[in-house]
Amino acid sequence: MLRILVADDHEVVRRGLCALLQSHEGWEICGEAADGREAVSKAKQLRPDVVLMDIGMPSLNGLAAASKILQNDPRQKVLILTVTDCEQVIRDVLEAGARGFVLKSDAARDLVAAVEALQQGRTFFTPQVGDMVLSGYLNGNATKTLNVPRLTSREREIVQLLAEGKSTKEVASILGLSAKTAETHRSNVMRKLGIHSVSELVLYAIRNNIIQAEVGPSTKSAGSAA
């Protein structure tokens, strides 16, 4: 049996993905996770063959979680699910060590084929992503996308937690650090990025896919009525 761990913070989406994968003979869902830290913990505990990972999850995003999972066990294979296929995201997915990339809009069509590819030791990218990888990333052009300092995995964790509204004390508790060490990390990250406020940090996190922005209902009709 191919053992699959499904990680997505939206329960309805997660259940749909599980139903789609369970219908394939010889595959089983060995576990589910609702955030990145739970995915890392369950991957270590359950030892799945494939981890299907949403890129935008609370506490620890899919890319950071993928890196940790592969550090713990390089034999595990990670397939990233996301709503966007911008070049920076593709580069980050590849650098995290993921073996595949599927757009959520294409999941019903491509997900089974993607998992089959990973099962057979191959990689999988949807056609539009494959074209971008070949024309950009492999030719080195993608490295010119953003001229900003590269963060370490620990720094990305801290940026995400702060951008999600956690205090320095809460960051220290979550990461198992002293309050003083967490504050030092916070100061170093802000200085490294040239950022001077939490609001700027949130914008940086959104633009660099460390967290996802929640989009509320349109106010256009309300404004026109007024």
82 is a domain residue = yes
Is residue 21 within 8 A of residue 6, CB to CB? The reply is yes
Question: Are residues 184 and 160 part of one domain?
Answer: yes
DSSP, residue by residue, the chain: -EEEEEE-S-HHHHHHHHHHHHTSTTEEEEEEESSHHHHHHHHHHH--SEEEEESS-SSS-HHHHHHHHHHH-TTSEEEEEES---HHHHHHHHHHT-SEEEEGGGHHHHHHHHHHHHHTT--EE-HHHHHHHHHTGGGTGGGGS--SPPPPHHHHHHHHHHHTT--HHHHHHHHT--HHHHHHHHHHHHHHHT--SHHHHHHHHHHTTSS-PPP----HHHHHH-
Domains of the chain: total: 2
Question: Are residues 172 and 85 part of one domain?
Answer: no
Residue-wise pLDDT for 13-69, tens only, equals 999 999 999 999 999 999 999 999 999 999 999 999 999 999 989 889 999 999 999
pLDDT for res 72: 92
Question: Are residues 106 and 66 part of one domain?
Answer: yes
What is the Cα–Cα distance from 73 to 89, expressed in whole angstroms? 23
18 is a domain residue = yes
Question: Are residues 73 and 45 part of one domain?
Answer: yes
pLDDT for res 129: 60
Residue-wise pLDDT for 48-64, tens only, equals 999 999 998 988 999 99
Question: Are residues 168 and 91 part of one domain?
Answer: no
pLDDT for res 143: 43
How confident is residue 130, by pLDDT bands cut at 50, 70 and 90?
low
Residue-wise pLDDT for 144-178, tens only, equals 444 557 788 889 899 989 888 788 998 999 999 99
Asked if pLDDT for residue 184 goes beyond 50, the answer is: yes
Going by DSSP bridges, is the β-strand pair 50-54/2-7 parallel, antiparallel, or unpaired? parallel
**CATH of residue 72:** 3.40.50.2300
pLDDT for res 152: 86
Question: Are residues 164 and 79 part of one domain?
Answer: no
28 is a domain residue = yes
Going by C-alpha positions, the residue among 51, 39, 47, 117 that lies closest to residue 81 is 51
Structure tokens at 38: 């739970």
74 is a domain residue = yes
How confident is residue 81, by pLDDT bands cut at 50, 70 and 90?
very high
**CATH of residue 189:** 1.10.10.10
Asked if pLDDT for residue 91 goes beyond 60, the answer is: yes
Question: Are residues 122 and 62 part of one domain?
Answer: yes
Q: Where do we find the tokens 């595990």? A: 76
127 is a domain residue = yes
> Could you list the residue range(s) of the whole structural domain that residue 172 is in?
153-207
215 is a domain residue = no
